Amino acid sequence: MERNFYWVNIADVPQWYITTPVPASGGAFAEPWMFGEGHPLPDPGPSKARIRNPGQKRALVFAGVERTPIGSGAVANVFRTQAPNDVQLFPITIEGEPEQYFIINATKTVDCIDEAKCRQVQHYAEDDPFPEYAGEYRWIHGLRIDPSKTGDAHVLRPRKFKTALIVSEEVKAALEQVGNLGVHFERVTGPQSAP
């Protein structure tokens, strides 16, 4: 039976805005986008973030322009239980919040994009201002992945399009049980739905 996967995206719901994580000791991480690169990281040590816009507190959000996934203890427990081999959970303090939150770092990058089934793809060109991205996807509308290439992964980032945080149906269902999410889930397997 084919497995279903979902792209976790920012939901259009009232929510707080959390800034890019930084070391608790001060300063900034040398690579603030590292939590979206899809590989294991050395423990960054104690981290913190500020609430830039209070909004409505949510259990799972993307922080800063780097879109770092940050979740509550209940959300972290979903990832710890459902995908222990696919993520790292790094504690982070959100200023003014007594509850412990966690940065969710997906550690697997999988070559699984089914370009022929995607609605529209845009590639970075070789003469693009960012030559290091040549050949990668600038954006994909109607993303589709080939679930037969995901192995036993429940959380992953697609090779050449690491912007997308992808979760299995089991992870999605468990996160929905937590509720109060600042994200929505777009199915990336099976036939395209009508636009």
Q: Where are the domains of the chain?
A: 5-108+153-187
Whether the pLDDT of residue 3 is over 70: the answer is: yes
Report how far residue 134's alpha carbon sits from residue 148's, in angstroms, rounded to the nearest whole number: 26
Q: Taking residues 64-85, what's their average pLDDT? A: 97
| Chain centroid to CA 117 | 22
Query: What are phi and psi for residue 54, nearest 5 degrees?
Result: -55, -55
Return the residue matching tokens 């997906």: 106
Neighbour order of strands in the sheet with 5-10: 109-110, 155-158, 165-168, 5-10, 183-187
Q: What is the bridge-based pairing of β-strands 109-110 and 155-158?
A: parallel
Query: Residues 95-126: pLDDT tens digits?
Result: 999 999 999 999 999 999 999 999 999 888 77
Whether the pLDDT of residue 127 is over 80: the answer is: no
Model confidence at 134, in pLDDT bands (50, 70, 90)? confident
Report how far residue 18's alpha carbon sits from residue 41's, in angstroms, rounded to the nearest whole number: 22
Average model confidence (pLDDT) across the chain: 93
What is the DSSP code string of 43-111?
---SEEE-EEE-----SEEEETTTTEEEEEHHHHHHHHHH-TTTEEEEEEEETT--S-EEEEEE--EE-
Model confidence at 146, in pLDDT bands (50, 70, 90)? very high
Q: Which two tokens stand for residue 138?
A: 């600038």
Return the residue matching tokens 């959000």: 61
Query: Residues 22-32: pLDDT tens digits?
Result: 999 999 999 99
Q: Which two tokens stand for residue 23?
A: 């070391």
Whether the pLDDT of residue 194 is over 70: the answer is: no
Residue 136, H or E segment: none
Query: What are phi and psi for residue 80, nearest 5 degrees?
Result: -65, -40
Query: Residues 6-23: pLDDT tens digits?
Result: 999 999 999 999 999 999
